[in-house]
Chains A and B, each alone.
Chain A
Amino acid sequence: MDSILPVSDRGGPAQPLLLASGLRKHFPVGGGLLGRGRKVVRAVDDLTISVAKGETLGVVGESGCGKSTVARLLIRLIKPDRGTMVLDGDPVDEPHGISVNELRRQVQMVFQDSYASLNPRLTIGETLAFAPKAHGVSAAEARARARDLLAKVGLDPESYAERYPHELSGGQRQRVNIARALALRPRLVILDEAVSALDKSVEAQVLNMLVDLKSEFGLTYVFISHDLNVVQYLSDRVLVMYLGKIVELGPVEAIYGNPLHPYTRALLSARPSMDPRKRTREAPIQGDPPNPIDPPSGCRFRTRCPFAEDICAAKEPLLAETAAQSVACHMRQPGSGHSKAEAA
């Protein structure tokens, strides 16, 4: 008896697989013993994400912009302060919806640090069998499934099932982590910088494997990375984050071909180029991101934006749709009051 079968599609292809609206997470920092005078880091602020079935949604942004917090919120490793999540039509953690545990069965995650994400005291086989066993699969069946999964990620079950994590290379460990994420037959896999720590040749192999696994298991990916080239290679749609907010969201061709937000442009022009004539002569953006404890008023990017005007400090730009993509910038919103915006 296989007690955990893949969950079948319910709402049809048009219904988003995962819809998270108004997600907010503020982390308290410091403060007194009784919580007075406590400040918060606004890691994720009123973020709305919709992940379509079968797509790969790339999430990019600088370090500290809240990418990893989004990943952990989507799988409920941390509880959002506010916001709702709907998985294929079922509200999560609400009276008539599905439980957080059920969400975690259908949504899995691969972490960046391949070593820290494997228990050093368990063999690879034991690590892979843990989740199915926790869901009531018999030990023998879980072991058999672990060997299947190892083969799926290109590791010979005969020689790897009995090994310990420290005996594997970084690339092999990350394959094991991917196998573990697939052990519960999830529908959505969140890859949080899953290939960032690997060297380039290994990274390419793992990326190709991810593409293969996606079509084989009918998966949907949320691919979080700071590597713009990798995101471009893998994603269907791209979401650009800055200080806990979405600044731009759209199809990969639109974001990379015609970026509209000054931040996206700066990010893309900061990419190392293979063409010596396109050498970057000066840093496209100056300085560090502002402190998320006390983000700038209005548009959060205005302190580093070359086009900032009074309206940017006064009013927060909303994410508005243009022809190809959505962008949160006053310059792209007719009648916003910015000198570069079209008149309404």
Chain B
Amino acid sequence: MPFDATDIVLSFLKIAVVLGALLNVTPIMVWVERRGSALIQDRPGPNRVGPFGLFQSFADALKFILKEDIIPEQAHKWLYTIAPMFGLLPALTTIAVIPWGLPFRLPAKKLFGHVFFQGDYFFDPIVADVNIGILLIFALASLGVYGIVTAGWASSNKYSLFGAIRASAQMISYELALTLAAVSTLLAAGSLKLTDIVWQQTQYFYIFNVIKIPAWNVFSPSMWLSFVIFVVSAFAETNRLPFDFAEAEAELVAGYHTEYSSMKFALFFMSEYMAMAAMSALVATLYLGGWDIPWWNEPQVWWASVLTMLFFTLKVVAILLVFVWVRWTIPRLKYDILMRLGWKVFLPLAFVNILIVAFFIAKQWI
């Protein structure tokens, strides 16, 4: 397919924006987590390093960089070193197919004696709009298991291996429920592309022909069950409480990253928060209407697009706050109850939800 310099430059710009946002999530979320948990637990939290403890993340990063990097004697050196990089893979790549703004038309401009954007050039704020959009996310998210399993095994430590096997069994079980719950939204949109899913949610439901509510999937009664299943499975996929058997402080020392120190541990830490951000972006896209601003038919111009990007960020931030809130509220589930929930409760319910959505579509209520 013919592409020219303009396409390449704009693609690089999109990648820079997305990567910049994603890599900055970790320090911000660390601060939010620590202050938020302090708020919930009625204590001050970090408030010494800078105003409201805002520079705490920098202090943490400095500590991670300056710490001594220890590799255990019995560990398999190569695998021990590349395991944290496996963990980053799903977080950094799944964000590439998530649309974060309204596509807008770039008018032809004459700069430095050369005309840019001749004809109808649409700037689509999504790094890679592939035909199989959501399947790519599921494919890359399922590769996240390898980071944990390799880290646990390469540490050559019983507790690490145990934590790693439990965590990876949990992750692959809840992947099924996650995928099937997302299929309901795909049925409503009729396409695998995430941009199509968001465009379908820019329309409206008319109740009693009078009240107009935006056709976000979370407002459609057929998808409430799948919304609950998806959000809970997102918690399980990112190994957050109440499903954090991978880390399980006070049970497994620190689970699969017991033997990791300094920069490698920081990479695991980062990959967890980035996976959280990517999952929140996915929840926002599938259920909360993506970049859609409710009750406004956005014109496809640049300032409307910037507003939609802002709204998308707000939705992602809201879901991240829910992640933090749930972590400090709900206790950890016992492991066999967790597995039973994934296989015996969520999987059948996700199937039932697909049938319900198919019924709604057949009756043209969606």
| Pairing of A with B | no
